[in-house]
Amino acid sequence: MTEHDVAPDRRARKQWAFRALAIPIIFLFIAPCVLFLLRSSDFVVPRIRIEYGPRAPSYSAPANYQPTSPSPPPPPPASSSSGSHEQQQRRLPPPRQLTDEPYSLGPSVTDYDSRRAQWLRDHPQFPATIAQGRPRVLVVTGSSPRRCSDPEGDHVLLRSFKNKADYCRIHGFDIFYSTAVLDAELTGFWTKLPLLRTLMLAHPETEFLWWMDSDVVFTDMLFEPPWSKYSRHNLVLPGWDDKVYDAKSWLSINAGSFIIRNSQWSLDLLHAWAVMGPRGPVRFEYGKRFAEALSDRKPYESDDQSALVYLLVTQRDRWGHKTFLESAYSLHGYWADIVDRYEYLRRNGKPGGAAASGGGEVWPLVTHFVGCKPCGGDDGTYEPQRCQRGMERALNFGDDQILKLYGFEHESLNTTAVRRARIDTGGGPLDADDEELAHLLHPSFRAAEHR
């Protein structure tokens, strides 16, 4: 055997000896680390469980959590008839069954009118009327607590609220904006009822509450409802007597903009109204009743507007005599018939014309985007682009009436860009002789001018 033949065998033995020596050295370094981790109180060996069936919601245990025994899987989330996001995030009461007690907004309130009258006498600093004998009005509106699915939706809601705040400032009204669902049984259209009841009881100084959906835009900033016309009524709805009582149409009124008096009658109406709205089989049962009683409605689940028409039709003696169906001006103006006519209206009329003349309105008081979904969603009746364009025009039309007070206006109703509309040459306040601008001043200033 030559030296050349022995060399490979010698190299193999050296490699084996090196590996045998490396193994205990590595073990001496790794073993203490493993022992330290196993004896540490903060270290928990994860347990692996295999479950079959529906996946439970994900859960992250705190760092110091020490499991003592395997726990059962969490219960499945409560079922929901509407499947909305907020219902999935919280525990809801079980859907109301037909055999359950009828739904109630809260404890029964009795003798409210006399108790409220006594409160007003005891608190003269909070009168139910304001300047020039006008009633104290609280405009109530709101939107969902969730973010809009459409990125533009939150901006539209902000501008819509700004529009209402401007109107309230001009007329000296209060405003309340809600993003809370006060009662989990009344969702969707029905959320307004517990809110109105709560505000009535919390604000006895308020004479009228004016509900407005988030998609309602004021488009005559000067017009104010003729309050004396409703001195004998507790509810003012946009609608027509013949369509309600003769045709029995669920579209004969609109529940997106209405005025209700703070009174015992109104509290009773809200209670009777809300009975038909709790989520569950009750809501679908009343939807069937509406289809039988009303002429043009199908038997889908009940909505607040159909329920109100149903009360007026079936219990006219109880509710009809205190309800005023207003058709002389647009307490609810259907947007598709209005938004393309703003330029014509501006050329051929003046804002607040009905208030000044006592006749019908010249401009629509409100433009209501019924069938649109400013916040996004798949259940809109109209194309989102058409709705967005219409809302942009309506908001700019109303905003122009405010900007004009400060000498500006929009370049067109189709853009938010503004331009100077008046050159102010004097250094004093606005000229009070301008009747249109004077109407836009705060009511306290207008009252001072009449003295």
Does 152 reside within a domain?
A: yes
* Residue 168: pLDDT over 70: yes
Does 94 reside within a domain?
A: yes
Rounded mean pLDDT of 134-156? Answer: 92
Amino acid at site 325: L
* Residue 356: pLDDT over 90: no
Q: Identify the band that residue 65 occupies on the pLDDT scale cut at 50, 70 and 90.
A: very low
* Residue 267: pLDDT over 80: yes
* pLDDT one-digit tens code per residue, 366-379: 999 999 988 877 77
Residue 404 backbone phi and psi in degrees, to 5: -60, -30
Smallest CA-to-CA distance from 248 within 240, 236, 259 is with: 240
Distance between CA atoms of residues 439 and 436, nearest Å? 5
Give 95's DSSP letter: P
Q: Is the dihedral of CA 190, 194, 197, 202 positive or negative?
A: negative
Distance between CA atoms of residues 121 and 14, nearest Å? 108
Instruction: Determine the pLDDT at residue 233.
Output: 98
Rounded mean pLDDT of 36-53? Answer: 47
Window from 293-302, 343-352, 405-414, 441-450 with minimum mean pLDDT: 441-450
* Residue 75: pLDDT over 50: no
Q: Identify the band that residue 362 occupies on the pLDDT scale cut at 50, 70 and 90.
A: confident
* Other residues' Cβ atoms within 10 Å of the Cβ of residue 95: 18
pLDDT above 70 coverage of the chain, percent: 71
Does 234 reside within a domain?
A: yes
What does pLDDT average to over the chain?
A: 81
Distance between CA atoms of residues 145 and 138, nearest Å? 21
Domains held by the chain: number: 1
Domain of residue 217: give its range: 88-450
Instruction: Determine the pLDDT at residue 260.
Output: 98
pTM here is 0.75
Instruction: Determine the pLDDT at residue 34.
Output: 58
Does 369 reside within a domain?
A: yes
Helix axes 264-274, 112-122, angle to 10 degrees: 130
Q: Is the dihedral of CA 367, 370, 373, 375 positive or negative?
A: positive
Does 60 reside within a domain?
A: no
| Strand residue runs (E) in 179-256 | 208-212, 216-218, 235-238
Distance between CA atoms of residues 207 and 62, nearest Å? 53
pLDDT above 90 coverage of the chain, percent: 55
Window from 233-247, 276-290, 343-357 with minimum mean pLDDT: 343-357
Does 352 reside within a domain?
A: yes
Does 232 reside within a domain?
A: yes
Looking at per-residue confidence, does 244 or 415 come out higher?
Answer: 244
Give 107's DSSP letter: S
Smallest CA-to-CA distance from 281 within 185, 358, 374 is with: 185
* Residue 29: pLDDT over 50: yes
Smallest CA-to-CA distance from 142 within 160, 128, 118 is with: 160
Helix axes 192-202, 264-274, angle to 10 degrees: 160
Q: What is the CATH number of the domain that holds 436?
A: 3.90.550.10
Distance between CA atoms of residues 195 and 187, nearest Å? 12
Does 239 reside within a domain?
A: yes
Instruction: Determine the pLDDT at residue 236.
Output: 98
